[in-house]
């Protein structure tokens, strides 16, 4: 017997690659079906539209990002390393998750109902992760932050601001150098002491 969830997962995996290559606008159900070795009607049996497939793809990539961030920070042994790993893993992962990144950044996709929900959920989850790291750092005396909530928002906003120059100009060769500079500013500030 065919497991419906397994088939849907396979369709999502194939569609991830196609959407990554051609983008949402240029990808067709026909291309997804061909890559799957099925007819379009078979794909429509599992997903009502291209938008529904894209939603499943973006949700999967959002989950991947969340899992990678949680793993990276749980493996770290101090708030400093957690913050560093969050920044590094996030920036490298976002570069590999083209569909997720497209959904949260491309205005032409904002007409899709699910995009704004994913954007909000993603922002809230990341800000909460960052705030947890900062609170732990304050509690252990490593960080000196008056408002961890505001600081978390500021850091996540800074990371989002770096995404475009890091990933949309082609293959950036100095990603790690730029991230090191950002981390230096996060840890040391900009004022002389």
| DSSP codes joined into one string, 147-178 | -HHHHHHHHHHHHHHHHHHHHSSSS-S-HHHH
How far does the chain reach from its first CA to its final CA, in angstroms? 68
Question: CA 84, 105, 127, 55: dihedral to nearest 10 degrees?
Answer: -110
What integer pLDDT is reported at residue 28 of this predicted model? 93
Burial of 184 (0-12, 13-18, 19+ CB in 10 A): exposed
- With a cut of 70, list the residues of the chain below it in pLDDT: 1, 164-174, 193
What integer pLDDT is reported at residue 152 of this predicted model? 96
pTM of the predicted structure, to 2 decimals: 0.83
Strands in 14-154 per DSSP E: none
What integer pLDDT is reported at residue 2 of this predicted model? 73
């Amino acid at each position: 017997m065919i497991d419906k969830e397994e088939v849907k997962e396979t369709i999502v995996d194939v569609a991830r690659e196609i959407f990554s290559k051609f983008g949402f606008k240029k990808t067709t159900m026909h291309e997804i079906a061909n890559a799957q070795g099925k007819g379009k009607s078979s794909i429509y049996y599992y997903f009502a539209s291209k938008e529904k497939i894209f939603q499943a793809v973006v949700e999967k990539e959002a989950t991947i990002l969340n899992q990678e961030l949680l793993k990276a920070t749980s493996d770290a042994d101090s708030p400093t390393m957690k913050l560093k790993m969050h920044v590094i893993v996030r920036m490298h992962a976002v570069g590999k998750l083209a569909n997720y990144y497209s959904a949260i950044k491309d205005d032409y996709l904002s007409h899709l109902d699910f995009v704004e929900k994913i954007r909000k959920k993603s922002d809230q989850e990341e800000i909460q992760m960052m705030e947890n790291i900062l609170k732990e750092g304050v509690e252990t005396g490593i960080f000196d932050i008056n408002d961890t909530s505001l600081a978390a928002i500021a850091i996540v906003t800074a990371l989002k601001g770096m995404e475009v120059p890091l990933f949309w100009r082609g293959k950036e060769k100095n990603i790690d150098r730029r991230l090191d500079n950002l981390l230096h500013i996060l840890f040391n500030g900009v004022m002389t002491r």
